[in-house]
Amino acid sequence: MDQTPTTRTTVLIIDDNHNDRKYWSDALRIPSFHYSVLEASNNEEGLNILRDQKVDCVVLDFDMPMSGYFTLVELVPDRERPKIAVVILTCLAHPVLSELTKHNGAQDWLVKQHTSAEDLDHAIQKAIASVKSLPNR
């Protein structure tokens, strides 16, 4: 009998707040989600992880000392053909910034205080599907 192991989706959480990073990492590690979760406390650490490992989606805090926006621009240099899914997960409820990040390659903007683990899971799955559906041109 041929049994194919369940493929885990790798998610990298970049958030400078230790408690938030741990909370969301633990939430995504629930077995029913099938995630392998990596963590970075700043953009430099996150970009180093991305160079060394295959990551399917980045969950990025926008409100960090080294701006989440600049990290987004480094993650998605070509917003017409993003190679990685990015979900912004932040404390900031700011419609203009939300639209700006989506225009620059993020697939979604979630406000931490109004987001459940299921909401984040849904956003990650949708973001990955969106990036995979784009033509490679």
Residue 131: pLDDT above 60?
yes
Residue 32 has which token pair?
């029913």
Residue 101 near residue 58, CB atoms below 8 Å: no
Q: What is the pTM of this model?
A: 0.87
- State the pLDDT at residue 78: 67
Residue 57: pLDDT above 90?
yes
109 C-beta neighbours (distance < 10 Å), count: 21
Residue 67: pLDDT above 50?
yes
Longest dimension (CA), the chain: 53
